[in-house]
């Protein structure tokens, strides 16, 4: 038991080290444009390729990429004023819904057209449309997916998310979007919550706030999608099993922290400190994502699905950009 605990802590420490490295590198000119979170993701991927970590440490790494991610998102609520959502109107919700439905249908159909594995394709479509690896892991039981199918889909989403996060970061200075509109664009079209925060970080505080609002709207839609899949995938003659439909509870923590910030219940110095902690936890989560990227599974079973995801994500970016320009820019 003691050895397991040491391995668990060792995995967390690795992500902690990467987060510190990313923080240091984020102060270097030209590299600083990437931001701490993207740098942590790239270091994690490089670490996995050059210096594979021991399997026993994977539990700690997974803790960082899942639990610390959710904790970071909850604490990041201290940046958000809920009145901003009210003033933004119903357009944000409509953009989130339209982009989700578009990505889910297009990626899945492209995968079928290219001859990719059906379950990997559907998992990847859900990850693209909703919230990346979290959606894949949450919806896998509904689809009766095995570990290889899940890990392949996660690898595809991790690589796609990294590509598009880097692309958004570099294109920010060239696309004609206000920080407000850019945040909506990133939140509506990127894969993981951490990718959304990382890409929107190059804009402004407004960009991050709007990106998180739109992305969490997509995360909330995980619940109706799960109900729909449970109904569609049920065997004939059986009722849908809704007992395992996932509920993203951490969103309520995010809203609670946002409520504290909206009501100005904490001193500014405390709020700023909480946000700084949130970013560091997110950097550890991004490091965990990088360390979990399995390129071997991607090339073994997921080539066609990766191409479908790449094309679908590109089309999603174009559609999302068009929506944002039409409604908010």
Question: pLDDT category, 202, cuts 50, 70, 90?
Answer: confident
| 228 contacts: CB under 8 Å, gap ≥ 6 | none
The total of structural domains in the chain comes to 1
Percent helix, strand, coil in the chain (nearest 5)? 80, 0, 20
Q: Which residue has the higher pLDDT, 265 or 137?
A: 265
Query: pTM value?
Result: 0.73
Other Cβ atoms closer than 10 A to 112: 14
Other Cβ atoms closer than 10 A to 295: 14
pLDDT at 239 exceeding the cut of 70: no
Give the pLDDT score at 245. Answer: 58
Model confidence over 118-164: pLDDT tens digits? 999 999 999 899 888 767 866 776 777 776 787 778 778 878 988 99
Specify whether the CB–CB gap between 128 and 110 falls below 8 A: no
Most confidently modeled range among 101-105, 233-237, 299-303: 101-105
d(CA 36, CA 90): 32
Specify whether the CB–CB gap between 252 and 69 falls below 8 A: no
Q: Which of 249, 244, 238, 239 is nearest to 216 (CA)?
A: 249
Structural domain range at position 118: 2-327
The percentage of the chain sitting over the pLDDT mark of 70, rounded to a whole number, equals 87
Give the pLDDT score at 70. Answer: 82
Comparing 12-16, 146-150, 256-260, 311-315, the range with the smallest average pLDDT is 146-150
Give the pLDDT score at 158. Answer: 79
């Amino acid at each position: 038991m003691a050895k397991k605990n040491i391995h668990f802590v060792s995995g967390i420490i690795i992500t902690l080290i990467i987060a510190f490295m990313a923080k240091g590198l984020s102060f270097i000119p030209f590299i600083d444009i990437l931001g701490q979170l993207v740098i942590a993701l790239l270091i994690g991927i490089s670490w996995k390729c050059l210096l594979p970590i021991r399997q026993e440490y994977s539990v700690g790494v997974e803790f960082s990429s899942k639990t610390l991610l959710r904790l970071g998102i909850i604490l990041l609520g201290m940046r958000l004023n809920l009145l901003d959502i009210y003033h933004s109107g119903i357009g944000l919700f409509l953009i989130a819904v339209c982009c989700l439905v578009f990505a889910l249908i297009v990626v899945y159909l492209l995968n079928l057209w290219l001859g990719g594995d059906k379950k990997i394709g559907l998992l990847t479509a859900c990850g693209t449309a909703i919230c990346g690896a979290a959606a894949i892991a949450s919806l896998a039981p509904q689809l009766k997916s095995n570990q290889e199918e899940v890990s392949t889909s996660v690898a595809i989403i991790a690589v796609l998310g990294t590509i598009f996060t880097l692309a958004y970061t570099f294109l920010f200075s060239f696309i004609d979007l206000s920080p407000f509109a850019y945040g909506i664009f990133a939140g509506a079209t990127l894969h993981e919550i951490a990718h959304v925060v990382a890409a929107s970080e190059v804009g402004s505080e407004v960009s991050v706030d709007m990106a998180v609002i739109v992305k969490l709207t997509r995360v909330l839609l995980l619940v109706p999608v799960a109900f729909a899949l449970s109904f569609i995938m049920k065997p004939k003659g059986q009722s849908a099993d809704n007992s395992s439909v996932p509920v993203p509870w951490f969103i309520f923590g995010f809203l609670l922290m946002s409520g504290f910030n909206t009501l100005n219940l904490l001193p500014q110095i405390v709020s700023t400190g909480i946000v700084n902690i949130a970013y560091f936890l997110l950097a550890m989560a991004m490091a965990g994502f990088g360390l979990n990227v399995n390129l071997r599974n991607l090339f073994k079973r997921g080539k066609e699905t990766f191409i479908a995801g790449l094309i679908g994500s590109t089309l999603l970016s174009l559609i999302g950009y068009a929506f944002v320009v039409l409604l908010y820019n």
